[in-house]
Structure 1
Amino acid sequence: MDKKKVLITIAIAVIFALFIGYGIEVFHDSPNVDDFCNPNLYDIKNQSSCEQNNGTWQKYQQLEPKIEGQEGFCQTPEKCYRDYDLIQSGHDKIVFIACIIIGLIAIVAGILLRKEIIGTGFLSGGILVILYGTLRYWRYADEVLKFVLLGIVLAVLIWIGYKKIK
């Protein structure tokens, strides 16, 4: 393959992966942490205002540099981060499932397409989409699921090697 074909193939792969990633976000928005945790708590400068806004007042430790005229800072409640993380994990699971399905379709289409640069671009883009979805959900997946996912990816890559590369 000459340089132009290689560049077009890479461009198709990357733009396809970005298109799918942004497309999923258009139709299924990521949760916003500000919907769960008050972003203004860090601007609060006294304990009573902090507690009125459901924050936890933290006094500065002796070793930390103090801000002039301020005894501590307002900490966001841990519950808001747990709630946000729970919703975020559900969103990332949907992204993961959508990416697996779309990525596999792109890989199969890439193998079936006759035009080499387009087929290889779709195949590579499908792999990138699967990688994107897997990375989004990786921290929430348990160890067995991670092992199975890596095994499936390895099997698909070996299969692609036999089918596509001669």
Structure 2
Amino acid sequence: MSVEKSIKSLSSAIKNVVLGFAIFILTMFVTIYGINTFYERPQYNDYCEEFKTVKYISDEASCIELGGRWTAQEIQCIQDSKSITTPCPQGYCDNDYTCRKDFETASEKYSRNVFLIAVPLGILIIALGTFIFNLNPVGVGLMFGGIGTLIYGAGGYWQYSENLFKFLISLVGLGIVIWFAYRFNKK
């Protein structure tokens, strides 16, 4: 009888792990797709038109007029047969420099705002999983979903933030998780 009880207990534990994992994944889907549904990510094509034909731009003034950035270079070209040097183009034009900078600025702002949305949402989801749901698979799944939401929010903005900011956010996050663990296990 004890072997049968052990098998039932193991089966129940496996089911709880699978349910917790499913809740974790679905919590991530709901938060990420929810944020992206109500707050759209900037698209490159909204800032820079697609260049259908590549037009050679040979001078700085024309490049700047198109919103590009001219990069000067001083090189000499050699003709094939006579080894005579002739002037080469004295630079090149980065056609979408200005619009790309605008897109990058909008992307940074978007990432910061997603961070400001996802971090409190992740903390709230962790709190719900910790204090509200007594069923282990639900609570654990939600807590992992909250952690995943925190990672999603911080991950997008991480590249734009300074090390001090990263340190402080990590420190605060660690403090909050320790506090949750302490409060939860005190019950």
What band does the TM-score fall into relative to the shorter chain?
0.7 to 0.9
Counterpart in 1 of 2:57? 47
Counterpart in 2 of 1:96? 115
- How many residues end up aligned between the 2 structures? 155
Q: CA RMSD in A?
A: 2.9
TM-score by length of 1: 0.78
Please say if 1:15 is aligned against 2:26: yes
Matched to 2:159, the amino acid is R
Cα 1:131–1:36 change in 2 (3 A) is same
TM-score by length of 2: 0.70
Runs of 4+ in structure 1 over 4 Å off: 50-59, 71-74, 163-166
Do the aligned residues in 2 keep the contact of 1:44 with 1:74 (CA within 8 Å)? no
Give the SS at the match of 2:17.
helix
Matched to 2:41, the amino acid is S
Give the SS at the match of 2:146.
helix
Do the aligned residues in 2 keep the contact of 1:99 with 1:133 (CA within 8 Å)? yes
Do the aligned residues in 1 keep the contact of 2:126 with 2:146 (CA within 8 Å)? yes
Do the aligned residues in 2 keep the contact of 1:110 with 1:119 (CA within 8 Å)? yes
* Structure 2 runs not aligned, ≥5 long: 1-11, 77-88
Counterpart in 2 of 1:136? 156
* Structure 1 runs not aligned, ≥5 long: 63-70
The 5 Å alignment of 1:87-166 reads: 87-112=106-131, 113-164=133-184
Cα 1:106–1:117 change in 2 (3 A) is same
Counterpart in 1 of 2:13? 2
**Percent of aligned pairs sharing the same letter:** 27
- Give the superposition deviation at 1:136: 0.8
Give the SS at the match of 2:51.
helix
- Distance, in Å, in 2 between the alignment partners of 1:54 and 1:108 is 49
Larger radius of gyration: 2
